[in-house]
Amino acid sequence: MLDQTPASAPRASPHPALNRQIALGYSIALVIFLADVATKYWVHEYTAYDWSQPLLPFFNLVQVWNQGAAFSFLADAGGWQRLFLTSVALLASVWLLLMLRKPMALWERLAYSLILGGALGNGVDRGWRGYVVDFLDFHWLGWHWPAFNIADIAIVCGALLMIFSTLKTAPAHASKTTD
C-alpha cells in the first residue's frame, strides 16, 4: 500500500521516549544556565566588586571575579586564558549537546545536563565579561572555601553523578567480561 501522507505532514518520531529524554536533558541544562546567568547578573549589577554580606555564621554573599579556571587556576596568566577557557567551555558544551542525543541511563543524562548548564553559564560569563562572577562564600573558623556560583555547583554535582554512575555500572560490566 502506498503512503498517502502529504510530503509536508509532520512525521512521528521513531523514538518518542528518547526524544522526551533528550528534551528533559536540554530542559535541565537550560534551567541551570538561566538560573546561573540571572543570579550572576543580579550580583554583578546590584552589588559592588569585593562586596560581602554575611547571611549565616558560615555563609556570605560576595562579589568576586575569577579570570581563571577552578580555584582561580590561571587567573594571573596574562589574558590568553580568556579565549582558551571560553573555547574549552564551548567545545565541551557542543560535545555534551551531542552526547545528550544518545540513549543513556537517567543518572548519566542528569549528569551531562548539569555539566552542560554549568559549562554554558561560566562560558558565557567569561566570554561576555572576561571573568566569571562568583558570589557564594562558605567559611568556618577563619577558613574560606573559594567563592563559587550556580554553574560551579552544577558542574560538581554532574561530575559526582558521573562518578556514581560509573561506579554503579562498573561491577556489572566487570562481571560480564570475566564470565
Which residue among 76, 134, 137, 179 is the active-site one?
134
CB 101 within 8 A of CB 95: no
Which cell is 168 given? 554503579
22 exposure class (CB count in 10 Å sphere: 0-12, 13-18, 19+): middle
- Those residues whose C-beta lies under 8 Å from the C-beta of residue 6, and which sit 6 or more positions away, are none
Active site residue 134: yes
- Look up residue 152 and give its three cell numbers: 560551579
Give dist(CA 146, CA 161) in Å, integer: 22
One of 36, 125, 137, 152 is an active-site residue; which one?
152
Give catalytic residues, as residue numbers.
Answer: 134, 152
